[in-house]
Structure 1
Amino acid sequence: MTGYLLRDRVALAAAVAGPLLLALILVPFRGSVSSTNLALILVVAVVAVAALGNRLAGAIAALSAAAWYDFFLTRPYESFNITSSDDITTSILLLAVGLAVSQLAAHARRLQVMVVTDADHLARLHETARLTQTATSADTVVEHVKGQLTELLHLRGCRFEYGTLIGHPARLEQDGSLTVGRRHWDLDQRGWPGEEIELRASGGGRFQGRFMLTPTPGDRPSLQARLVAVSLADQAGAALHATGPRPAE
């Protein structure tokens, strides 16, 4: 089991059980602490779960927090009925804030993947960005990115195709996942498939071409490496958009 898969499963378990346990802990204080403050404490649990896991875990935690707040911390206690209009408003706000915060936390987790990276990845991105600014031909950038992708993803080969899309090869997506046919391919578990893979290069909001990757079957590049590869391809796409070269016939 990969680190991310284990982390997500733990987060889902925490999303279900965490708000319940916290609500039970708060029961002795429900007569002395305002309902608003009790709700804010439950929001903290939602944030913790969302930061640990993903959007689904955060959303489940928000729903769980709102339900157990209603059941244990509003009158009549141990009932899902609410008699106070203020408590109804607080419950709705708890759910809304919990859902919103879970989205933000999940987004921050995705950004962290690109922020927490090693010096080699940063050097590749910086070098390619600098070349994109100084190269007189986008073909130079394309050739450079081909070499970078080969090293970064431990490929057996890499070529670039200009123009329209042909066929339906396996595709490395913008989020670093892999699609084979119409199905998700678990790279972390299964490694590269034994077939050529496309990595699209876009610039100016338009498709510019695609890198065709020949992987080493079974090799498992990290998610960080795959996201860097996507960024490198987009830098090549930006260079193609700026200069618009076409290969010689």
Structure 2
Amino acid sequence: MKIPLRGTAAVAAGALAPSAAAPVLLPLRTSVTHTNLALLLVVVVVAVSAFGNRFAGALAALSAAAWFDFFHTEPYQSFHIEDRADIETAVLLLVVGLIVSQLAARGRTMKRVAVTDATHLERLHGTTRLARSSTSSDDVVQQVRQELVEVLELRACRFEYGSLLGRPPRLDPDGTVKVDGWIWDLEQQGWPEGEIELRAIVHGRHQGRFLLTPEPGTDPPSLEARLVAADLAAQAAALDDEVVNVGPRP
């Protein structure tokens, strides 16, 4: 199973950021209330959640509560708490950190979804306008190739016209990826090795195929992004003129 680089970094930050922030706050231990120190650690939890995901945020909340206990409650440098008020503060830090981390992750997700939806719609409209107005299939293929690189976060994309050679992994119009006829678990396994085929088909007629080269270490594209990619490929097949080969994006 491939672990996305950003997800790995977020989890690492969730575990390490509170442990780094808690000792930095030591000079404030005698002049600032424990409640305020806990709130400062909540800020760290929010920052991790905004950068990463729900799991990273939850891990940061647990880490913040543990290191608050270790550095800022008596007996110091111990995970034992004697004072009842400190126990309540540590528990509240954990609960508030968990709640805030989930809200921050959800807010980031909703914002990304809204922006992504608008961007996908503009991609489809722009390509459709070009396909209707252009007399050169080469222009449409170039446009679609560039859009595919962006929407799927690819390293490269090229177009082949003509017969299908070999049996590379294939991205189908329903957004699934198939390897040797079997559905590939993209969310769990990431992109399969090598180039992935995306066929340009219109009215049942095969006009060519895009060969996609994913960028290593990136998160797998969402189902919505894969469906948009399939629609873009269909636009490239909409013209009946001969399609010329397009090389990899510089």
Normalising TM by the smaller chain, what interval? 0.5 to 0.7
Q: 1:120 to 1:66 in 2, by over 3 A?
A: closer
Q: Do the aligned residues in 2 keep the contact of 1:15 with 1:46 (CA within 8 Å)? A: yes
* 1:70–1:91 Cα contact (<8 Å) kept: yes
Q: Distance in 2 between matches of 1:14 and 1:36?
A: 23
1:94 Cα deviation after fit: 0.8
Q: CA 1:124 to 1:55, structure 2 compared with 1: closer, same or farther past 3 Å?
A: same
Query: If the length of structure 2 is used for normalisation, what is the TM-score?
Result: 0.55
Deviation by residue 1:29-78 (Cα, 9 ceiling, x = unmatched): 11111111000000000010111111221111111100000011011111
Distance 1:172 1:217 in 2: 15
Aligned to 2:74: 75
SS in 2 for 1:79: coil
1:32 aligns to 2:31 (yes or no): yes
Selected match of 1:180 from 168, 184, 188: 184
Partner amino acid, structure 1, of 2:224: L
Task: State the AA in 2 paired with 1:186.
Answer: G
Quote the Cα distance in structure 2 between the aligned partners of 1:34 and 1:170: 59
User: CA 1:220 to 1:227, structure 2 compared with 1: closer, same or farther past 3 Å?
Assistant: farther
TM-score by length of 1: 0.55
Asked if the contact 1:8–1:52 (Cα under 8 Å) also holds between the matched residues in 2, the reply is no
Instruction: Give the CA RMSD over aligned residues.
Output: 4.3
How many equivalent residue pairs? 178
Provide the residue aligned with 1:241 in structure 2: none
- For the Cα contact (< 8 Å) 1:114–1:224, is it kept in 2? no
- Please name the residue that 2:49 is paired with: 50
SS at match of 2:79: coil
Partner in structure 2 of residue 201 of structure 1: none
Q: Decide whether the 8 Å contact of 1:121 with 1:225 is kept in 2.
A: no
Partner of 1:227: 224
> Could you tell me the percent identity over the aligned residues?
44
> Contact (CA 8 Å) 1:70, 1:80: kept in 2 or not?
yes
| Alignment partner, residue 202 of structure 2 | none
Instruction: Please show how residues 6-155 of structure 1 align to structure 2 within 5 Å.
Output: 6-117=5-116, 121-123=120-122
* Counterpart for residue 4 of structure 2: 5
Tell me which of the two structures has the higher relative contact order, counting C-alpha pairs closer than 8 angstroms and 6 or more residues apart: 2
Asked if the contact 1:192/1:216 (under 8 Å) is kept, the reply is no
Deviations 1:107-136 (A, max 9, x none): 223223323349652336789xxxxxxxxx
CA contact (8 A) 2:19 2:63 kept: yes
- Shift of the 225–98 alpha-carbon distance from structure 1 to 2, 3 Å rule, reads closer
2: distance between equivalents of 1:114 and 1:215? 28
Instruction: Classify 1:89/1:11 alpha carbon distance in 2 versus 1 (closer, same or farther; 3 Å).
Output: same
3-state SS in 2 of match to 1:218:
strand
Unaligned stretches of 5+ residues in structure 1: 128-150, 157-168, 174-178, 197-213, 234-249
**Do the aligned partners of 2:187 and 2:220 also contact (CA within 8 Å) in 1?**
no
For 2:105, what is the secondary structure of its paired residue?
A: helix
| Matched letter for residue 12 of structure 2 | A
Q: Does structure 1 conserve the Cα–Cα contact (< 8 Å) formed by 2:10 and 2:52?
A: yes
In structure 1, C-alpha distance between the alignment counterparts of 2:221 and 2:112, rounded to whole Å: 6
The Cα offsets for residues 130-178 of structure 1, whole Å up to 9 and x where unpaired, read as: xxxxxxxxxxxxxxxxxxxxx675999xxxxxxxxxxxx99747xxxxx
